[in-house]
Amino acid sequence: MTTAQDLLFVAMDLPSTRSLERGDLSLALAGAELIDLLGLGAVTLDGEFVLPTGRSVAADPLLELAAAAVAPVADGETVEDWLWRRGRGLPDTYIAALEADGLLGREQRRRYLVLRTSRMVLRDSDGRRRAAHRWAADEPTLLALAAAIGISGPPPVPEPAPGPVATVVTAVRHAVDELAAERSRRSRRLDEANQTYVRRGF
């Protein structure tokens, strides 16, 4: 299992201190992939730039896709650029992989005697237990990524040691804050538009 998979397990298993936004999760999953690629030596950081090393990744199919998506050295790409580009639609990709592996299923529920509904639930698995173990062990990388999207364990949240991992975690936090600011601006513009409609009698 990978850090991104562990983060998704944690996100689905634990309560968040705020509504968990899909965009935030997308950024954090992309950050988790980048951290694993750094650990495997498939990429390196030159300051804020992500550079491929050419080393193959055979650890996980989704990590292989992530490694293949790294921009060529000639193009250059910052960590934040990577998060925004790679993160697009990433939760759906990981959820589909969990379903394909039989790690995610539908729980059937009955409402009002006649209606049946279902919701997606995690099934017990080695991967889910591994994620829970990393969380219980206060593993700094996992806890820092989770905290960036509003999922916090007992304080204080341990920080990754200074270095490439800490650079990625900082970039995730900055990108999540930027996304939150954009949501706030959109909400404010919508409120202002609604007030204008009210004043005009619409």
Which of 130-134, 145-149, 180-184, 195-199 is the least confident region? 195-199
pLDDT digits (tens, 9 = 90+) for 50-70: 999 988 887 789 999 999 999
Q: How far apart are CA 163 and CA 181, in angstroms?
A: 27
Encode 36-65: b = buried (16+ Cβ within 10 Å), e = exposed.
bbbebebbebeeebbbbeeeebebbebbee
Please measure the distance between the N-terminal and C-terminal CA atoms of the chain and give it in whole angstroms: 54
What pLDDT, on a 0 to 100 scale, did the predictor assign at position 28?
A: 97
What pLDDT, on a 0 to 100 scale, did the predictor assign at position 193?
A: 54
Residue 58 or 201, more confident = 58
Q: How far apart are CA 138 and CA 173, in angstroms?
A: 19
Is the dihedral angle over the CA atoms 196, 198, 201, 202 positive or is it negative? positive
- In percent, the amount of the chain with pLDDT more than 70 equals 82
CA distances from 35 to 53, 106, 131, 194, 199 (A): 14, 31, 16, 43, 51
Alpha-carbon Rg for the chain in angstroms: 19
> What is the value of pTM for the model shown?
0.85
What pLDDT, on a 0 to 100 scale, did the predictor assign at position 116?
A: 47
Neighbours of 9 (CB within 10 A): 25
Task: Work out the pLDDT band at 14, boundaries 50, 70, 90.
Answer: confident
Q: Is 25 exposed, middle or buried (0-12, 13-18, 19+ CB in 10 A)?
A: buried
**What average pLDDT is seen over the chain?**
85
Task: Work out the pLDDT band at 20, boundaries 50, 70, 90.
Answer: confident
pLDDT greater than 50 at residue 182: yes
pLDDT digits (tens, 9 = 90+) for 150-167: 997 767 777 888 999 999
